[in-house]
A and B are shown apart, each in its own frame.
Chain A
Amino acid sequence: MKTISLISQLIIPLFILLTILYGCIKRVRVYDCFVSGAKEGVGVVIRIFPYLLAIFVAVKAFQSSGAFELIQGLLQGILETFQIPIDVVSIALIKPLSGSASLGVFTNIVKTSGPDSLATRICAVIMGSAETTFYVLAVYLGAVGIKRTRYLVLVCVIADLVGIIIAISIVKFFS
């Protein structure tokens, strides 16, 4: 574990060092180059902002409306038949929507059901194998002003769903 986390700490500094040294060797004006690249950042973020705003407002509203609890209630029966802890639903629903909120929900599950429980293990695997899909979609599509997404969103949603089922099956298989 120690070595792995050391390696992960080293990646970014080493990468930046390598980039700058290589630039110097190739006689590139590294500082001017960096500044001219960074200048583009402002435009990019301004372009993305309205898309971010739209998705954040919708997600926060959805979280506060209590719709989550209803979906949990609906799924409870199905989950009990397969002996899957109910906590899995909260993670499965929140992870595609919000990274920070899912971290909060996950921490709470660890706290309430114990760090080595089945619920915790399934949720941990979902946390690591699912992405904040709608944030990624909003940012990446917003960055280039794409309006027609064809079948992309459908594929992403189905893939998320199957991904969660895969995560649950793998943890159940391993334990």
Chain B
Amino acid sequence: MNTIWVLLIVISILFSFLNGRLGEFTKSIFEGAKSAVEVSLFLLGIVSLWLGITKIIEDSGLIHRLSNFFQYFVRRLFKNIPGEHPAITSITLNLLANLFGLGNAATPLGIKAMQDLKTLNPDGETITFEMMVFIVINTASIQLISFTVIGILADYGSKDPSSIVLPTLLATFLSAVFALGLLFAVRRFFK
């Protein structure tokens, strides 16, 4: 992240200078700070909401029922997580929320999953392989149907807005498989 951040900032300043947009640069960093506050406030609400709901799921034992569904898949991918560990639940719930395109639920549940994964390796500041698998799945966007996109297409009078569903599914599936495959291949290389 360090490299990416430095690159973004340095390139921005350089190009702002070359394009004579230095004024816009200064304006844009304040705008960025403002939207970070707005997004955080938004997150504060939904993260707390979903942490409340997941607490009920945990304490009532609903966890065990829910995770039975996905457990086979989750266990195959995350071999080093002990069977009864809470991370299995939060990962399962995050993946479900992602599949259904519930971004507002997926992010809080994902944060919870990261924290649960962290308890397996509490002192480390270095990322664990399980965390990497989890993040790669999340950055691969595994949602089944993108309602926002279909909505926009319909709004602008597309003849068949849902015709993108199948290609999107196929693209999502292939790129998720590629991303995971790449991650596992790179691990072998670094070993």
Contact = CB atoms under 8 A, between A and B. Distances in A.
A141 B1 contact: yes
Contacts of A34: 52-53, 55-56
B152 to A, nearest CB: 6
B27 A64 contact: yes
B115 A121 contact: no
B11 A62 contact: yes
Contact of A60 (B21, B28, B60): B28
A55 B24 CA distance: 18
B179 A155 contact: yes
A4 interface: yes
Contact of A124 (B4, B110, B168): B168
Contact of A137 (B33, B103, B135): B135
A101 to B, nearest CB: 10
Interface string A158-173: 1110110011001100
A110 B156 contact: yes
Interface in A135-155: 136-141, 143-155
A49 B40 contact: yes
A73 to B, nearest CB: 12
A167 B139 CA distance: 15
Interface residues of A, number: 98
B77 interface: no
Contacts of A35: 52
Interface in A7-21: 8, 11-12, 16, 18-20
Contact of A49 (B36, B100, B162): B36
Contacts of B107: 139
B69 to A, nearest CB: 13
Nearest to B132: A152
A33 B56 contact: yes
Interface in B121-151: 125-127, 131-132, 134-136, 138-141, 143, 145-150
Contacts of A151: 132, 186, 190
A159 B24 contact: no
Contacts of A159: 136, 139-140, 175, 178-179, 182
A62 B19 CA distance: 12
Interface string B98-129: 00111101011011001101100000011100
Nearest to A66: B19
A129 interface: yes
B122 to A, nearest CB: 10
Contacts of B105: 12
B56 A127 contact: no
B58 to A, nearest CB: 8
A150 B29 contact: no
A53 interface: yes
A153 B131 CA distance: 12
Contacts of B18: 66
B12 to A, nearest CB: 4
B126 A150 contact: yes
Top 3 closest pairs, chain A to chain B, by CB: A37-B55, A41-B48, A163-B175
18 contacts: A26-B62, A34-B53, A40-B48, A40-B51, A45-B40, A56-B35, A60-B29, A64-B21, A66-B19, A124-B164, A125-B168, A128-B168, A131-B140, A150-B190, A156-B136, A163-B179, A166-B178, A170-B167
